[in-house]
Amino acid sequence: MSSPPTLERRRRPLARSFRLGLFVAAVLGNATGLFAWQQVQHERRIDLEDVTSRSYALAQQLSARVSQALELPEEEARESLEGRLEGYRRLLGYAVFRADGRMVGAGTAMFDFARETEDASRAAMLSQQELVRVTRAAGARIHILAKPVPPAGTPAGALVVVHDVSYLDDRATARFSQYAFWILIETLLAIALVVGSTWLAYERPLSKLADWMRRLRVDNVAEAPPGLPTGQLRSESDRLAASFRAARSTGRALSEAAVHVEQVWTRDRLRAHAIASLGEANQLIVVSNREPYMHRRQDGKPRLMVPAGGLVTALDPVLEACGGLWIAHGAGEADRETADAAGRLTVPPGDPRYTLRRVWLTREEEQGYYYGLANEGLWPLCHLAHERPIFRVEDWEQYVRVNRRFADTVLEEAGASGAVILVQDYHLALLPRMLKSTRPDLRVGLFWHVPWPNPEAFRICPWAVEILDGMLGADLVGFHLQQYGNNFLDTVDRTIESRVDRDHFAVELRGSRTAVRPFPISVQPWVERNVPRDQELAGQIAAVREQHQLGDAFIAVGVDRIDYTKGLPERFRACERLLQLYPQYRGRFTLVQLGAPSRTHIPRYREYLDHLEALADEINWKYQTDRWKPIRFLIGHHDADTVYTYLHMAPMCIVSSLHDGMNLVAKEYVAAQAGGSGVLVLSEFAGASRELVDALIVNPYDIEQFAEAIRRGIEMPATERFARMQRMNAQIEANNIYRWAGNLLSELSRTQPSNVVSTTGS
């Protein structure tokens, strides 16, 4: 165990703040002291100028009489000046001298300054100019003005005016003391301010950070880093913690991995593998449109939600295992208030394993890029579901713009060091080229989660060239199936000037090389997830049976985003046909369809939802009884616990996609049936049908065959059901999500990051 930080260790940062405070105070004190000194001197000069002006005025008034007196003999001259040479208050008096230096007369107080006045009069007569002197004599500071008389021509004598200006020294001292007092107050305030603010803003957080790092190192604490003063430091410490935890478990992971049968990929094995594959890059960044954790607002408060969709299901466990950063669109209404100023937060909440960086988009950007180009254009283009793609130039412009926004965010987060970037899906097709044209050293992989159509289908896209060029910026492009990869190579071959290397499944374009590989995506084992078990699970199952009046009916479950590619009308119709052909199942078979509304701003998706509701109503109306309905259509967002409860309890799962890259619900069902004997009815047009050959494979367009497959599943002998499910289960266990990520990283680390050519059209 580590020792707690000592008092001595806590004091050190405070002493540092104090030293900084003293330094700032010294600089400030000296600067303001110098300024005060100059100010006092300036004011003193002004006071002296006042005295000088006054002396000139007095000398002026007397100079006519002095001039007359100098023309008289000695005695008469003295008499004519009698009484006029005395001073009062600060004016000490006057003295009059002849040209030969003899004094004609002077005020009484002037005799103390006989030498100074005589010197001044002589100098003035010699230079034939008025002269001002400030000097110290007889214990006082005096101001002397000596004026030749008459002022022009050869002087007949001189008039001297003397003031006592000792009070100006006293005044300067008093002013300076006053300034010194305020300088002292200001200096003390500066010390307090500097010590307080550096302590609060830097020393305290840094000392907490040091404490947290020590505990991370010594005690391996799982808590999030403390609040830090800068966003960059926060994000770096998040990553550091994630990497450190990953590195710490490397040894354990390696030895565990060695003990395990070689085929089994675990979270720890992936973590160890990721560290080795990332190499010097040492930083994994995943980029997708959809974020793994979204905050919606419910009853005025932020509520955490995990969005539906295979991408999140698959990639969250990968990031949890490897640590790193996930950049995605912050689409939830409460997303901003639950992230920091840069859009960052650590996730999963409560057990942070990696950092999520949210990218903010305007309504127009989201409309054009996500709803428009991505989901009304590319989505129907890639899925052969007989939906006409819509391409609008303004959507394309937003698509380019948002891809650029994501690229800027990735470049900012990657910093100067190397990084491995895993770009996800059709929303971000331009990103690889944008990244590589700025940072050729980054290793960039692109994984395409949806099917890739044949070249004839793809070439209707007005920006086919730009999209392919953007994708070919990547070092590696991954698809679920080899068939999609082949379609992609054919499309590239027919669309852009490049060399397609079919022997090695790669494309060479303007000196760069992109490998094209299949990576069938998969799922995380349910045992690793915090879902209900044993008694709790039994309670949940009883509760949902009760809630939806399922009685002891045979349950077939469907779990889908509500999307026209999922074949939901076909599924409903197949269930209806089952009840028509085999009336014995009326009252004894129920399809529970969990449907998460999706992309509902798009009219086609709203129409589809309305159509499904009407269809379910129509079928239910035909067959339902007081206590039973053939279709329970549960529209809404269903959390992982609910989904697991249905997948575990249902003896049948139906996946009827008209076209689907993989479809992870099929794999989730198999994983939830570990040790069980459920039947999977699976569309031949879902990528998962290539691996799950023990499912009952159907063509969802063929309603007769589909209904027959459901009947066959219901009636299948228990031993056959069990054997099929165990074979599928072994397949999913061996080819889980950790193996998928491990293969992807291995392949990416084998590529040469050489794609340096700049973008053509985008």
- Do 757 and 470 touch, CB atoms closer than 8 A? no
* Cα–Cα distance for residue pair 656/570, rounded to 1 Å: 7
CB of 682 to ligand F6P, least distance (A): 17
- Do 121 and 95 touch, CB atoms closer than 8 A? yes
Which of 164, 425, 466, 691 binds ligand F6P (CB under 6 A)? It is 425
Nearest to residue 411, comparing CAs of 562, 285, 513? 285
Is 125 a binder of ligand F6P (CB under 6 A)?
Answer: no
CB nearer to ligand F6P: give 291 or 708: 291
For the window 268-307, what string marks contact with ligand F6P as x by the rule CB under 6 A? ----------------------x-----------------
Question: From the DSSP assignment, how many helices (H) and strands (E) are in the chain?
Answer: 23, 24
* Cα–Cα distance for residue pair 469/463, rounded to 1 Å: 10
Beta bridge partners of 652: 556, 679
CB of 372 to ligand F6P, least distance (A): 13
CB nearer to ligand F6P: give 383 or 513: 383
Q: Determine the size of the site formed for ligand F6P (CB under 6 A).
A: 11
CB nearer to ligand F6P: give 234 or 427: 427
Packing angle, helices 310-322 and 267-278, rounded to 10 = 70
- Do 674 and 526 touch, CB atoms closer than 8 A? yes
CB of 450 to ligand F6P, least distance (A): 5
CB nearer to ligand F6P: give 309 or 343: 309
CA distance readout (Å), 437 to 123, 216, 468, 758:
85, 38, 15, 5
CB nearer to ligand F6P: give 356 or 450: 450
CB nearer to ligand F6P: give 425 or 475: 425
CB nearer to ligand F6P: give 316 or 708: 316
Residue 87 phi/psi, 5° resolution? -105, -175
CB of 643 to ligand F6P, least distance (A): 15
CB nearer to ligand F6P: give 118 or 376: 376
Which of 163, 267, 357, 449 binds ligand F6P (CB under 6 A)? It is 449
For the window 583-602, what string marks contact with ligand F6P as x by the rule CB under 6 A? ---------------xx---
CB of 483 to ligand F6P, least distance (A): 17
CB nearer to ligand F6P: give 105 or 453: 453
Query: Closest residue (Cβ) to ligand F6P?
Result: 309
CB nearer to ligand F6P: give 450 or 647: 450
308-337 residues near ligand F6P, rule: CB under 6 A? 309-312
* Cα–Cα distance for residue pair 504/520, rounded to 1 Å: 19
| Residues belonging to the chain | 762
Q: Which residue has the tokens 């300024």?
A: 35
Is 450 a binder of ligand F6P (CB under 6 A)?
Answer: yes
Beta bridge partners of 302: 297
710-749 residues near ligand F6P, rule: CB under 6 A? none
At 317, the amino acid letter reads P
CA distance readout (Å), 256 to 222, 261, 264, 493, 523:
21, 10, 11, 45, 21
Residue 172 is classified by DSSP as: H
* Cα–Cα distance for residue pair 258/483, rounded to 1 Å: 34
CB of 640 to ligand F6P, least distance (A): 16
CB nearer to ligand F6P: give 207 or 598: 598
- Do 308 and 338 touch, CB atoms closer than 8 A? no
CA distance readout (Å), 477 to 28, 423, 445, 460, 539:
61, 9, 6, 22, 45
CB of 198 to ligand F6P, least distance (A): 46
* Helix (H) or strand (E) segment spanning residue 519: none
Give the number of C-alpha atoms closer than 13 A to the C-alpha of residue 413, restricted to the C-beta side. 32
662-701 residues near ligand F6P, rule: CB under 6 A? none
CB of 735 to ligand F6P, least distance (A): 18
Give the number of C-alpha atoms closer than 13 A to the C-alpha of residue 64, restricted to the C-beta side. 2
Tokens linked to 661: 């890259």
CB nearer to ligand F6P: give 238 or 425: 425
CB of 486 to ligand F6P, least distance (A): 20
Residue 590 phi/psi, 5° resolution? -135, 135
CB of 596 to ligand F6P, least distance (A): 8
For the window 557-576, what string marks contact with ligand F6P as x by the rule CB under 6 A? ----x---------------
Q: Which residue has the tokens 């890059």?
A: 281
Listed in sequence order, the DSSP H helices in 661-716 are 664-672, 703-715
CB of 676 to ligand F6P, least distance (A): 26
Is 414 a binder of ligand F6P (CB under 6 A)?
Answer: no
Beta-strand pair 325-329/284-287: parallel
368-387 residues near ligand F6P, rule: CB under 6 A? none
Return residues touching ligand F6P (CB under 6 A). Answer: 290, 309-312, 425, 449-450, 561, 598-599
